[in-house]
Structure 1
Amino acid sequence: MEPLGTTDGRIDAVGTADQGVRFAWTPTGPQTAVRVVVRDGDAVVWDSGPVATSEPWLRSPSGVRFAPWRRHDWEARIDSGASVTTARGAFTPAPTDERAWHDADWVAATDGAPETDHARERSRDGSLAAPVLARTIAAGAPVTRALLAVTAGGHVDVRVDGRLATDEVLSPTTTHWDQRVQVVLHDLTPAFADGGGHDLGLELGRGFFGMTNANVWAWERAPWHAEPRVRALLRLEREDGAVEVIGTGPDWTARRGTILLDDLYGGEIHDLRRRPGRPSAGAVRPAVVVPGPGGRLEARLEQPIRVVEELVPDSVVETAPGEWVVAFPRVIAGWVRLRLPGGAAGSTVRIRYGERLRADGLPNADDEKHYFADGFQTDEVTLDDDAVTWEPRFSYKGFRYVQVSGWPSDAGPAPSDFVACVVRTDAAVTSTFTVDDDLLQWIHDATVRTMENNLHGYPTDTPKYEKNGWTGDAAVGADMFLTDLDAAAVLTKWVGDLAETTTPGHPPALIAPNAGVFGVDERAPVWHAALATVPWDLYRHTGDPAVLGAHVETIEEYARFELSRSPGGIADTILGDWVAPGTDPGGGNPPEDSRVPATAFLVRILDTVARIDDVLGRDGSWAATAADDVRRAFVDAFVVDGVVRGPRDEGFRQSHQVLALAFDVVRSPADRASIAAALAADVRARGDHLDTGAIGTKWLLPVLTDAGYADVALAVARQTTVPSWGAWWAAGATSTFEHWDLAARSHGHYFLGTVDDWLTGYVAGLRPVSPGWRRFLVAPAVCGAVGAASCSVRTPYGTAGVRWSAAGGVVTLTVDVPPGTTAEVRLPDGSSTEFGPGSHTVSSALA
């Protein structure tokens, strides 16, 4: 079988970058060299020549630019030393050179920035309604290819003749519009193929570009803040050889549509009486040419956001007269689609979304911390006379339950009137995990669902409340994102967002993207470390150093800065082991000496910089030396009587012990053994409970297992009383919470689900050793106490997998090793072996 070829991670990709393109294939056998040839029609536009490499990918050099709009075909001739196989693919670059856009203006319904005071109330007059920019495309010869390039301040729904022409939502993705503006390329050939006249419409949503709902993260004060705007180019290739390029400009029209207000946090207000042809429809006026955002054009490389799944209700119950609660099977990110009856013009249906139910039986759609000035998680739709299927378009919510008020029928709604639309970045699941323990299986499944709920162009911290790309969350979650999901592209995009918040003499912001107000110039190396560690995790999982090369200077600059503000090698942080047991359910630091985690993370930052420099052939000796200096400072200040203790600690802190061991901060074998023993003893003394928060939890069970306390780790994982994953499970949760307390504000945070690293890497026993999974470890650590487990991960070389079962004192283990890789297998009886490509089965006595 011919190997499958992908371009920038996609098959037959439309809208790629025009340089630095990554060509990849799944190997079918050994590889010693490869030659990639790219053609535009019959013309060869790039020939790599023979390249000696065993890696199943090759990236074109930055000096080679492929023509936008043009379909390019490529082939990789893969040499095994004995035979040659061929992988093939195709791609079409997006136009990102400003010269390609000379035929298109930025257009909007109006210029300027929206007023934010009482926008929800003021929106009723239509002045803030989502604009629809439109143009009639004249008839001509049949169309062989129709491509639409779109870039926007905000989001764009594309319609042809009034019907949605793509399956994307919330597109393009949020960026720092003053630094990067995404270009999205849509293939609209099916809509224009007949050559007839068609109406092209672009409806604009506000997103984080033109937000009207004032909030604590100050998106309404961003430097780019303005009314939504769009710039687009439609390119039609006709059968007669003609090529037409039609750009947005003053010859387009603008009208205010049915969406009176759209707000990522507050929800949407729709008035269906404003549909075209109705008496209340918005007036059609010429489009206004406006200034565009100042950022450079960049092709969107991460997967689009889509409705990826639809769920039907478990129940629909009238909890009070006229108040209906619709329950769905699980917590999701997205919205509800309604089938609304006709004959009730002027009636307004209100939908409030919540992840859990309050004591009164209604969904918790409350803004408890007063983050928002003008509404939260609420949609409203006013009907006209027609029955209609309706859904929001430019806001997503975190929810399991919805409260429906004002249903325009005495009989009330039926379950068939509701569909929950799951909305997220369309990143495929790339792993499998099974275990013969219901709780451990639930932990994995709930964690993956929660990660999926937090992918919307970047990793977010909750789909309900903040929708922000918190650095600490991404730092602890990157490993499991890259193991379980096809998340490399979206994390790479986010690293670019984060790097843009960093300037000389300043740390990265606490959230990215960022409006430039919140979390800027803080002292939080525990969170800032993401700037170094997430690119490193990307390299570990993909084997591709491009992300390291793109940001190494920024990473080095930040590491030097953090070191410079850490006198004597002792760092400090405003954010430590967040939401550890005993803290406020709404969030907080534990009573710990914040210098301990900060200094441990300073070691990790410096070690990571040294490793990055080594990969890139740079001199990282300064970072390695500084890391050792900080290690000595840490031991002198915080290692006391064989445990890690800060002078400002209130009691024993599990997380301090975990970080000292996980980051190799403490290297003395005697101290390491003492610290591990103290950690295990504290867990036992707490009745097999953890006492770690968002930071320490990721490494707690791996550290215990590596130190010889796998039984303690398993006892923690199987715990069912607070604080534990099992307590959530016993309470009927379907996702992972923001806090161990069952009163947790959010049921949509993944950062306490990082135990998944231990489930896949230690229970099943599968984890990478060398970059790109070129070499991986198979080392199940709880055989016997657990009866069976399996895990598979789609790596750049193919699927790596393990499945094992224990019975009668014997463990039978099967390892699947992709071409070009090696598995190091450590068996329960203490022996070890290595396997090359193929499927291998081996047995071992239990230890």
Structure 2
Amino acid sequence: MSATIVLSALGVCEAWINGTAISDDRLTPGWTSYEWRLHYVKHDVTHLVDDESTVEILVGNGWYRGRLGWIETKRYGEEIAAFAELRILFVDGHEQIITTDESWTVEPSEITSNDFYDGQTIDARRRASEGIHGPAAGTVHAVSYPVDRLEPDTAPPVREIDELLPQKIWHSPSGKVLIDFGVNIVGFLRLRVRGERGHVITARHAEVLENGELAVRTLRSAGSIDTFILSGDDDRFEPTLTFHGFRYAELSGWHLELEDLAQAVTAVVISSDLRRTGYFECSVPDVNQLHENIVRGMRGNFIDIPTDCPQRDERLGWTGDIAAFAPTAAFLFDTKAFLADWLKDVALEQAQRDGIVPYIVPDILKYAVVPQPGAGAEEAAAFWSDAAVWVPWELWRAYGDSSVLEASFESMLAHGRRVQTLLSPSGVWDTGFQFGDWLDPDAPADRPGAAKANPAVVATACAFRTADRIRAAAEILGRDAEANEFRNAATRLRNAFQNQYVADRRITSDCTTVYALALVFGLLDPEQVEWAADRLATLVRESDYRISTGFAGTPFIADALTSTGHLDDAYKLFLQRECPSWLYPVTMGATTIWERWDSMLPDGTINPGDMTSFNHYALGAVADWMHREIGGLAPIDAGYSQILIAPKISEGIDWAQTSLETPHGHANVRWERDGSSVNLSATVPAGSTAVLQWPGAQDQVLEAGRHSIALPLRQHTTTASTFAPV
């Protein structure tokens, strides 16, 4: 006999057969654009089925009926529902099929409320149920949903990936019980306790403390409170139908000693269960902490979809964040299936909007009760909407699988063509709403879009990059007509950028972001590159190597400096510890990447803006540069069939090691200073070759295997790599 079960829900669900969980998955079936598709999962449950079996399904609000967004939106639906199909195949070939229908019953639950933002309430007194066949059981009815919209979930499931013990428990100045778990995580508390029947314990969660108390202002309207009502017996509370972003928890109603709490509570960490593939380490502990913060931030924000943050009344699939972070994400973890699945929703949402890629996917903001300017996508926005092109491109670059481009190509085309309709008669993109260089560190706290960079310059540069990426994708796929279409579009945009924004050895708005974008995207002629690179380096020096870019410029500024012979400036900018900088949050004790460069001010107070998160991965996009340029490991060909080994070495870092599980196997580069020499070791996977590039020496081809090479320590002054990463 064999048995399988197919499971889905309008909401989120967990299932048991004969009291045993069918899997360790959480938040099944995840979040998709429910209007057009719904995931299902399939499990082998042969070991759980007996002669007589009971199937139980717990259903929660999840994303379907839960609260979503910082503005009031309609819910996807008013009723949550479960779907299950149990198939039992007997040895004689007979198959029994049991499906959810009106014959099922519903029994009381110990869960009296559940919401991602506001938390979960568990009343353990209700566990003494009269059973599913008892008088407390109720009937169910069928909820309509088109069966042809069900599709298998191909992405890794959300799971519990770690469990942390308290690092410190104490009373706050106001007498509240506080717990510190040491790092900023995403998940929930697991609490084991015995106490008086009806006694209430609440757990509130937050990422940081302010003035010794839990800092909850940054959560905005999200309550982030779990409530536990004791049964009078030994209770175990696990609020698995919610999640919180937190390092600290505040317990109210704890009636025992603090020493007892240390044994009673743990923090359960959840994330989509992605396979780790990329690693980085170097001689500077703060840099290692930064990299670990980037990894942890990605883990906390990759919960079924790539979100912006995991704690406040948002947690949405912002396209701009993943547009910035996709190269880093595809190196650190195997994100191919995860992001390819999300890109399906990008295309579905876009198809309903005449080619407009919304700012978040799935797009709940289109259901805003009172639309707010800039909240919903009235039109495409540069960088954010460009995720429809940039993300599939990075997946192709990382994994070398053109089917990813093929699956997204119509979406890429639709976005590229939509952008062409938005250009002004001069050929630049200076119309409509733009986020621009969002969260420029010089922008006022209450005006995050007030950047130094002219938003039209940013938008036109991004439009050029998008057109050129579509051209390249079309060439890979053999789509000659589209390749020619977007080759011409890219040429027109480049010429318009030059005509409108480049004059007198300056680029309009004369700030680091516009030079970084122009240099990295290829918008400048060779003779212009030299003065633009020098101007960028001058601006970086004049800022005393403090970062001056927002979302648009940050992923590219270190590359712009490095590729134009200003490696020392790139290192100094990267290693800066004063605010604002990548390492400043590390000096302040950060364990994830902050949304703002100064989410916490040097005096320990929280940024006064009403949009401040301590777990946003976007500014961690610098890890892509760390892997390629400090670590020296980059693809020459998509999928790493040919690898570039070319670490760029400057003052401040004495050794570094980078490794990656490529589609061909394990690749590794390690270098270490040794007086006037550098000792370099490399592992090239079978099926790949590598090119070692070193200043002053001819390029050297390395075959598959391990290599150890002593190299002279020389200044990297080349203006560009012979083999530029794809």
Q: TM-score when scaled to structure 2?
A: 0.91
CA distance in 2, matches of 1:569, 1:315: 59
Normalized per residue, the structure richer in helix is 2
How is 1:143-154 mapped onto 2 (pairs within 5 angstroms)? 144-154=1-11
Deviating more after overlay: 741-750 vs 581-590: 581-590
Instruction: Decide which of 161, 171, 188 is 1:318's aligned counterpart.
Output: 171
Kindly state the Cα deviation for residue 689 of structure 1 after the two structures are TM-superposed.
1.4
**In structure 2, distance between residues paired with 1:708 and 1:333:** 41
Aligned-pair distance for 1:484? 0.7
The match for 1:328 is 181
Q: Which runs of 5+ in 1 are unaligned?
A: 1-143
Residue pair 1:578, 1:587 contacting (<8 A) in 2 also: no
One of 411, 421, 442 as aligned partner of 1:582: 442
Asked which structure has the greater RCO (Cα within 8 Å, sep 6+), the reply is 2
CA distance, structure 2, for counterparts of residue 756 and residue 782 of structure 1: 16
Tell me, yes or no, if the aligned pair for 2:571 and 2:651 is still in contact at 8 Å.
no
Q: How does 1:666-815 map to 2 (within 5 A)?
A: 666=524, 668-741=525-598, 742=600, 743-744=606-607, 745-782=612-649, 785-815=652-682
Give the drift of 1:322: 6.2
Distance (Å, rounded) in 2 between the aligned partners of 1:149 and 1:824: 48
The amino acid of 2:151's aligned partner reads E
Specify the alignment match of 2:491 in structure 1.
Answer: 628
Q: CA deviation at 1:506?
A: 3.9
| Cα distance between partner residues in 1 of 2:144 and 2:378 | 30
Partner of 1:473: 321
Alpha-carbon distance, 1:448 to partner = 0.9
1:298 to 151, 156, 163: 151
Match of 2:99 in 1: 247
1:376 aligns with 2:229: no
- How far 1:319 moved relative to its partner? 2.0
Contact kept, 8 Å, 1:778 with 1:825, in 2: the verdict is yes
Contact 2:320 2:387 in 1 (8 A): yes
Counterpart residue type for residue 662 of structure 1: V
Q: CA deviation at 1:690?
A: 1.7
Q: Is the contact made by 2:33 and 2:349 (CA closer than 8 Å) also made in structure 1?
A: no
Counterpart amino acid of residue 755 in structure 1 = V
Give the secondary structure class of the aligned counterpart of 1:728. Answer: helix
Match of 2:515 in 1: 657
Letter in 2 for 1:700: I
CA distance in 1, matches of 2:239, 2:139: 26
- The residue that corresponds to 2:40 in the other structure is 183
Q: How far does residue 352 in structure 1 lie from its aligned partner after superposition?
A: 0.5
**Structure 2: which 5+ runs fail to align?**
368-374, 601-605, 715-726
What residue in structure 2 maps to residue 610 of structure 1?
471
TM-aligned CA deviation for residue 239 of structure 1: 4.5
Deviation at 1:427, TM superposition (A): 0.5
Of 42, 54, 66, which residue of structure 2 is paired with 1:199?
Answer: 54
Q: TM-score, normalised by structure 1?
A: 0.78
State how many pairs are aligned.
687
Question: For residue 377 of structure 1, what is the amino acid of its counterpart?
Answer: S
CA contact (8 A) 1:170 1:305 kept: yes
1:111-130, Cα deviation, whole Å (9 max, x unpaired): xxxxxxxxxxxxxxxxxxxx
Alignment partner, residue 194 of structure 2: 341
Do residues 365 (structure 1) and 216 (structure 2) align?
yes
Aligned in 2, Cα 1:238/1:279: closer, same or farther, shift over 3 Å?
Answer: closer
Q: Does 1:270 find its partner at 2:130? A: no
Partner Cα separation in structure 2 for residue 278 and residue 400 of structure 1: 39
Number of the residue aligned with 2:262:
415
Structure 1 residue 496: Cα displacement = 1.0
> Alpha-carbon deviations, 1:805-832, whole Å to 9, x = none?
1112111212211122121111244432
Q: How far, CA to CA, are the matches of 2:349 and 2:597 in structure 1?
A: 31
The corresponding residue for 1:208 is 63
1:461 alignment partner AA: D
Q: Summarize deviations over 1:464-510 as a string: whole Å, max 9, x none.
A: 12211110100111101100111111111111111111136341100
- 1:226 deviates by 2.4
Hey, what's the Cα distance between the residues in 2 that align with 1:282 and 1:569? 71
The match for 1:596 is 457
Aligned residue identity for 2:53: H
Question: 1:586 Cα deviation (Å)?
Answer: 6.5
Give the deviation of 1:196 after TM superposition.
3.6
Residue identity in the other structure for 1:815: A
Q: Which residue in 2 is equivalent to 1:121? A: none
1:526 pairs with one of 373, 383, 405: 383
2:138 alignment counterpart: 285
Matches within 5 A, 1:24-35: none
Q: 1:341 to 1:282 in 2, by over 3 A?
A: farther
How far apart are the structure 2 equivalents of 1:215 and 1:407?
32
Between the aligned partners of 2:359 and 2:118, the Cα distance in structure 1 is 23
In 2, are the aligned partners of 1:147 and 1:234 still within 8 Å (CA)? yes
Instruction: Say if 1:451 and 1:750, in contact at 8 Å, map to a contact too.
Output: yes
1:221 aligns with 2:74: yes
Whether the aligned pair in 1 keeps the contact of 2:121 and 2:228 (CA below 8 Å) is yes
Q: CA deviation at 1:341?
A: 1.4
CA distance in 1, matches of 2:292, 2:439: 22
Q: Deviations over 1:584-640 (max 9, x none)?
A: 446712143110000000001100110111111112111011111111110111112
1:551 Cα deviation from its structure 2 partner: 2.3
User: How far did 1:164 drift?
Assistant: 2.7
Does the aligned pair in 2 maintain the 1:256–1:282 contact within 8 Å?
Answer: no
* SS of corresponding position for 1:811: strand
Question: In 2, Cα distance between the equivalents of 1:353 and 1:188?
Answer: 36
Letter aligned with residue 457 of structure 1:
D
2:691 is matched with which residue: 803, 813, 824?
Answer: 824
Preserved CA contact (<8 Å) 1:322 1:407: no
TM-aligned CA distance change 1:435 to 1:311, over 3 Å:
same
Corresponding residue for residue 174 of structure 1: 31
CA positional deviation for 1:411? 6.5
Partner of 1:38: none
Distance 1:721 1:214 in 2: 36
Structure 1 residue ranges, 4+ long, deviating more than 6 angstroms after superposition: 278-282
Aligned partners of 1:274 and 1:282 also within 8 Å: no
Q: Choose from 15, 19, 35 the match for 1:162.
A: 19
Cα deviation code 1:419-450 (max 9, x no counterpart): 11111100021112111111221211111111
After TM superposition, the structure 1 stretch with the greater mean CA deviation from structure 2, 176-185 or 782-791, is 782-791
Separation (CA, whole Å) in 1 of partners of 2:625 and 2:379: 32
